[in-house]
Structure 1
Amino acid sequence: MGRKEVALTDAAPFFIFGTLRDRQLLDIVAGGNVDARDAFLPGFRVACAKDQSFPILDERGNKAAEGLLLTLTPEQAERLDYYEAPYDYTRVPVTVTTDQGAVQAEVYAPPPGRWAPSGNWSLTRWQDQYGALMREAATEIMAGMGTIPAAQVAKHMGVIRTRAQQRLNAAAVSSPTQLRRPHSRNDVELVERRRKYSQFFVLDEVDLAVRKFDGSTAEPVERAVFVTADAVTVLPYDPKRDRVMLIEQFRAATYLRGDQNPWSLEAIAGRQDPGETFEQTARREALEEAGLEMQALHKVSSYYGSPGANTEYLTSFIGIADLPDGIEGVGGLDSEAEDIRSMLVSFDTLMAALDSGEVENGPLVISALYLARMRASLRS
């Protein structure tokens, strides 16, 4: 394949062989129905990019890569260019075969040598594992077209996917309504949504018309919402030694509030990565922050920390662990600028710190109180 720059007004069809063959994803990216037909690229196979979930073209003998030939409007082509740009993909010319013969087309391709091929890639397997997540992520990406540069999307692709995972989490859970009225999202009209900031976190302003308890609908009101990812905390507890591991680290929010000691006592915590369960996140974070292998995990609760303005949804665990003397220290990931001190404290010391106010981190307060409630059964 030879590389060339292609203008948006160029009328050549597009050949797609990978994730955009998912028609729901294609419609999200292209902004509507796309004219597509089956096509093949002779001399290539669709391979997994090594250690990645997406595919690349691999030139192997007489294979023919299966795909779709798209006929796009200029607007649709521009949308596809925006979606592919964060991956540093560009259009290159190819000749594909269809039921009507050979056709000159263009295909999105990464820079030569960027990804190594591994086994054959399966669209069905990708749809089962990642389809819903990537459709949700694409919805956010495409909503930023025209206002958010593709380079910024590329920089924050990971957190875009974590926010997509958060929305999937929320859609999958129907919490009880024994005390609450059985309202639904249909009782809220989103009049307008304005994205004011989008990098590691997102700040949205929204105008909402909400159904009131008397059945009428209120006039639209403006609200600002801090959009982040779902997160997990885990408090390691050794029932034999009756002690826990706490961590201490600097927090920018406490500093900006004006706290005279902006270091916080906390349980181990971290954002849920796309595709993880909350339990997997807890175990991964325990290894990263403290080098601990968790044994049994006991769920404390799932809850919003500050639902008036923050989408963060937390799931807290007590994690049974072996906590001998000498395992405390300083850890964290350099790649995330983490400087985390771990310490071992007895259960009684934890309760004293809770009573004195030195423990002022919400998830740790909740976890400590749950531990006090369940301590006898955990030690039996």
Structure 2
Amino acid sequence: CEMTREIFERGHAVAVLPYDPDRDRVVLIEQFRVGAHAAFASGWFANDASPWMIESVAGIIEKGEDPEDVARREVREETGCTVSDLLPLFHYLPSPGGSSESVFLFCGRVDAPAVGGIHGISDEGEDIRAFRVSPEEAFALLDRGRIANAMTIIGLQWLRANRGHVRKRWLGKRA
């Protein structure tokens, strides 16, 4: 039996969960996502679901780019923070049934004393609000279903399980 299958070739991406271990703060972003807008109209989501998604930082890897370089650039563009260290977490396939896309997920060490404001590249139509919260506040957003983005869910669950280890690694005896 001959079979034909279609695949969506999207390319590859990075995602970064920016974390400030000195202040014990997570940096998140919020931006409008048209795919979420369409999905929320399906009836499968709560009536108050918002297409303004709370997410970790993410970006597409162009041909010839290094994932770590892209991760650092995207954090700077979307939050104004500089990454001083990157921990590779996972390299995974978000939707292997119909897409060849893969995601390199990192936790990025940042210094985030006063994250806020609107960021992004205007030529790319980005309108991104950056903000920082305690890990407990981020986990509460996750637990209430306010975060519906897989890469952010994975990153926050990883931080929930590994926060002490990360602080010890990055802060040493000060953790």
TM-score, with length taken from structure 1: 0.41
Structure possessing the higher radius of gyration over alpha carbons: 1
What SS is found at the alignment partner of 2:4? Answer: strand
Residues 121-132 of structure 1 aligned to structure 2 (within 5 Å): none
Name 2:59's counterpart in structure 1.
Answer: 270
The counterpart of 1:292, out of the listed 60, 81, 102, is 81
Deviation at 1:303, TM superposition (A): 0.4
The one-letter code of the counterpart of 1:299 is: P
2:117 maps to a residue whose letter is G
* Post-superposition CA distance 1:333-378 (Å, at most 9, x none): 0110000011111000011111111111100010011112221012
CA distance in 1, matches of 2:103, 2:82: 21
| In structure 2, distance between residues paired with 1:276 and 1:368 | 26
Local SS of the residue matching 1:225 = coil
Deviates more, 1:287-296 or 1:311-320: 287-296
Give the letter aligned to residue 14 of structure 2.
Answer: V
Aligned to 1:334: 122
Match of 1:13 in 2: none
Q: Distance in 2 between matches of 1:279 and 1:313?
A: 14
Aligned to 1:227, the other structure's residue is in SS state coil
Structure 2 unaligned segments of length 5 or more: list them.
169-175
In the alignment, what sits opposite 1:233? 15
Indicate the SS of the match to 1:350. helix
Alignment counterpart, residue 353 of structure 1, candidates 130, 141, 163: 141
Aligned counterpart for 2:110 among listed residues 321, 326, 329: 321
Aligned residue for 1:316, secondary structure, equals strand
Secondary structure of 1:372's aligned partner: helix
Distance 1:336 1:347 in 2: 30
- How many pairs does the alignment contain? 161
Shift of 1:285: 0.6
Matched, 1:256 2:38: yes
- Give, in whole Å, the separation in 1 of the partners of 2:144 and 2:23: 23
Q: In structure 2, what is the equivalent of residue 303 of structure 1?
A: 92
Q: CA deviation at 1:220?
A: 2.0
| C-alpha RMSD over aligned residues | 1.1
Separation of aligned partners in 2, 1:307 and 1:298:
24
**Structure 2 counterparts to residues 1-380 of structure 1, below 5 A:** 219-257=1-39, 258=41, 260-325=49-114, 327-380=115-168
Letter in 1 for 2:135: F
> Equivalents in 2 of 1:237, 1:254: separation in Å?
25
Aligned partner letter, 1:243 = R
Q: CA deviation at 1:264?
A: 0.7
Equivalent residue of 1:366, what SS? helix
Could you tell me which runs of 5 or more consecutive residues in structure 1 were left unpaired when the two chains were aligned. 1-218
Which amino acid counterpart does residue 140 of structure 2 have in structure 1?
Answer: A
Q: TM-score, normalised by structure 2?
A: 0.88
Q: Distance in 2 between matches of 1:286 and 1:315?
A: 14
Shift of 1:279: 0.4
Q: Distance in 2 between matches of 1:263 and 1:358?
A: 10
Which protein has the bigger strand share?
Answer: 1
Greater relative contact order structure (CA < 8 Å, 6+ sep): 2
